[in-house]
Structure 1
Amino acid sequence: MIAPADPFREWDVAYVLGSLSPADRLAYERHLVRCPSCEAEVCRAAGTAGLLARLPAAWAVSPSMQGAVNPVVEPPARARAARRRLVVVTAVLVAAVTGAALSAVFCG
C-alpha cells in the first residue's frame, strides 16, 4: 500500500498518459524503482490505457458525450471539433504505445 505522505501516489495515470513534464517524469521513474506500490499502479493504469486505445476514434469525441459531460457548453465550431478529434486520437495512440511499453518494462 502506498504511504499517505507519498507525493507520487497520484502520478500513475499522468505518467502512463505522458502528461508529466520531463523533470517530473524523471523523478517519478526514479521513484518507481524504489516503490513497488506505485509500480503496480502503473501496471494497472497501463492496461487501462491500452484498452482505451482500442476504442473507436468516433467514441472519443461524440457530441452526445460532450453534452452529457457538460450540458452547459455549446458544441464547438466544425474546425474546433476536427482539431479536438485529432488531439484525442493522438492522445489515445500515445497512451496505447506508452501503456504497452510500460507494461512490457514493468510487468514483464
Structure 2
Amino acid sequence: MNTPDPFREWDGAYVLGALSTADRLAYEQHLAQCASCEREVCGLAGVTALLSRVPEEWAVQSLGTGPEVPAAVLPRLVRAVRRRHLLVTAAAVLVAAVTGAVLGVLFCYL
C-alpha cells in the first residue's frame, strides 16, 4: 500500500514563503529527493511574481463579504449540535452501562 506523501500539499506554502523555518528546511530536504514535488514547485515559481503585480485594492475587493446566511440557519445548527452531543452522551452512557453489566456478570462467576 502506498503511503501518502506528507509534503504533497506544501508546494504552494513553500513558494509563497508561508512555512515555518523548521517546515521549510524539512521540505527542502524532501525536494532534494522528490522529483514530483520539485516539478510542482517549479511550476508555481512564477506565481509570486504575478501576485505581486495585483493591486492591493483588487485583492481586498475580490475577498468580498461572502453570501448572506439566512437567520434561520443558526438556530438549526445549534439544534443539530445539541442533538449530536446528546446522542454521543447517550451512546457513551450506554457503552458504560453495558461494560459495567458485563464486568459485573464476569466477577460474579469468578
TM-score of the pair, normalised by structure 1: 0.55
Unpaired stretches in structure 1, ≥5 consecutive residues: 74-108
In the alignment, structure 1 residue 56 sits paired with structure 2 residue 52:
no
- The sequence identity of aligned pairs, in percent, is 62
CA RMSD after TM alignment = 2.1
Mapped to 2, the partners of 1:5 and 1:17 lie a distance apart of 23
Q: 2:64: which partner in 1? A: 66
Any residues of structure 2 matched to 1:20-35 within 5 Å, and which?
20-35=19-34
Mapped to 2, the partners of 1:29 and 1:12 lie a distance apart of 10
Kindly indicate whether structure 1 or structure 2 has the higher relative contact order, using CA contacts under 8 Å at least 6 residues apart.
1
Unpaired stretches in structure 2, ≥5 consecutive residues: 70-110
Inter-CA distance 6–61: structure 2 relative to 1 (3 Å threshold): same
Mapped to 1, the partners of 2:64 and 2:31 lie a distance apart of 35
**How many residues of Structure 1 are paired with residues of Structure 2 in the alignment?**
68
Any residues of structure 2 matched to 1:1-108 within 5 Å, and which?
5-62=4-61, 65-67=63-65, 70-72=66-68
- Secondary structure of the residue aligned to 2:46 is helix
Which structure would you say has the larger Rg? 2
> C-alpha displacement at 1:24, in angstroms?
0.6
TM-score of the pair, normalised by structure 2: 0.54
